[in-house]
Structure 1
Amino acid sequence: MIETKEQVDQWCRTVAVIKEEIGRVIVGQQEVVEQLLWCILAGGHALLEGIPGLGKTMLVRTVADTLDLRFSRIQFTPDLMPADITGTNVIQFGVKGETAYQFQPGPIFGNLVLADEINRATPKTQSALLEAMQEQTVTIGAQTHELPSPFFVLATQNPLENEGTYPLPEAQLDRFLLKINVSYPTSEELKEIVRRTTSGRTETAGRAADAQMLLEITKGAKEVLLAEEVLDYAVRLTMLTHPGEVQAPEGVRRYVRYGSGPRGLQAVIAVGKVRALTMGRLHVSIHDIQQVAPAALRHRIFLNFEGQAMGVSADSLIEDIISSLGDIR
């Protein structure tokens, strides 16, 4: 609950320290770090996509260290089974030969779970995360087990054109609050990466917050004010991702099979509130909506065959939609 402006300022300072500590280990990628923190502070899950070797796994591990969360890593492979993620019941033998089933938790039982290269596992295994991401529970047999709080799934994904990958089902994609694109570093960043990794110096991130602080900021973000005209703008932006909308840009009507559902709008508003709060404001602006829309909607816009063949990107379509709505601040 937001009680004073000083409390908001303290949260802003905490977020700044978190970014600073992450920057001690991760070179560059400021936009990726910022979007990842938006997602965590909004209480959601994130999908990070980029070619191998860009430090996605290191970034997630560093975030866990900085936030003092219990970290768990799952390496997804084609032979990974659902029980390898959720856990299973094992038989326990007593001293007199009696038997009983005991639940052995899997690596999903952590605060921050790294699903590394999630699209290298089969759809059956990927679906093992659906209940955990939506309900924060795991059901084994007839028993349902609660996951720890807070609970985040941060998944990494290689581009689908790489060999040995399986597209994520639409239902699972929709459960990721944000999809964050991890870009290739600049030449200066590459030089700094080499300096850090080929010398005897090892940088580590210090603790900047804890689970209680995260839950406090998440709860406070929900109280950020949302004006009716800002909500109307976000609704219009989301609706224009659908090719059936008369006022949708030509690219959307031509290349999109179907657009974002209600979860997309919920993501835009939730993350917009977090962005406003971390910038010291207690109200969401239309500029906040414009800034968070690409990460919140890019994985919820599905292209038709022509769009895929032409290499159209969801980001370019979102830019067209924002442009069609006018330069409103």
Structure 2
Amino acid sequence: MKIPDKKHFQPSSDALNYYLATRKKIKTLAGKDIMPLFTDTDFENDKKWFYIALWLEFLGLFATIYGGLRSGGVTAIIAIIVVIAFMFIDFVWIAPQLHKNVGVNNYRKAKIQVLNRKKNIQQIRTLEDEIKKGKGYYYFLVFLLILMAFVKTIGIVLLGAFNSMIIYIAFFALFLIIVYAHVYKTRYYLAYKKTEKQIETDYNIFKDEQGYKVESYSKTFSTKELLRNIPVNINSHSLVKAEEEEEEENTYILRVNGVLEDDELFRLCSNQDNTNSIIIFKVGRNIQLENYGLGDNNSRSRRGSDLDEVDEVRQDDDLNEEL
């Protein structure tokens, strides 16, 4: 996902929440698996499967029309209308609904990972319970897709489109491929396109000088060991030594301008030992969670936050890996 003119433009919280729902690839930092936020992967493959599913749906429609022309009557017309309705339901309702909670759950997983498990166990359990909610609805939608595949096949059989059971079995297999595509592929493609469209809309507003200008954020933190290669500048973000330091500790400031994407955060953590890499990551991740109106904070303004319970990063903090 490309955010244009990142030095001056910052997408809306709506766009960034859509971004959370794009396909992610788990990364590793200091031997720990990291829950991604602002990154995406495998868009071209998801796009390919979207069009495969679309063409297979049309193939099923043509088979239904062919059977209808052979049998004639009101039944044929009803069958064609039902298949068209099923196509619409598949792409416009079920595929997006399957993806309904992916973005907010990715946010919750990322939040769990940076919370101190000993101090925030109740909050973590609440977030874990929220993640589990909706799974029954998800499995119902998958069952509905399979049921629709079966009904479409039965429709072709009843219309007598072909004289071979092997062909009918082949069509059922093709409809199951559509189910696979919707469950594992097309929903990520649709999430990507939705994000892309919203960023484009926000950027046009920005170009008209009506909003979405870059905002700046910063966090101060301390380490026992000196960080290497300071200052670090990654695009419009920087990691610098603080002028006033706490006694017996090294104090630094992470300054972020606009959206801190995951690749940028990982580059800020590079060339450090494991302990300091995790500290820098948690500081950057807290900036991401607190300032963009993400997840459960989506009703807030872009700078709003209810994450004041996210405790300060400490030298002995580690990452929770229950992703």
Identify the TM-score tier after normalising by the shorter chain. Answer: under 0.3
Relative to its length, the structure with more strand (as a share) is 1
TM-score, normalised by the number of residues in structure 2: 0.25
**Pair member with larger Rg:** 2
Relative to its length, the structure with more helix (as a share) is 2
TM-score, normalised by the number of residues in structure 1: 0.25
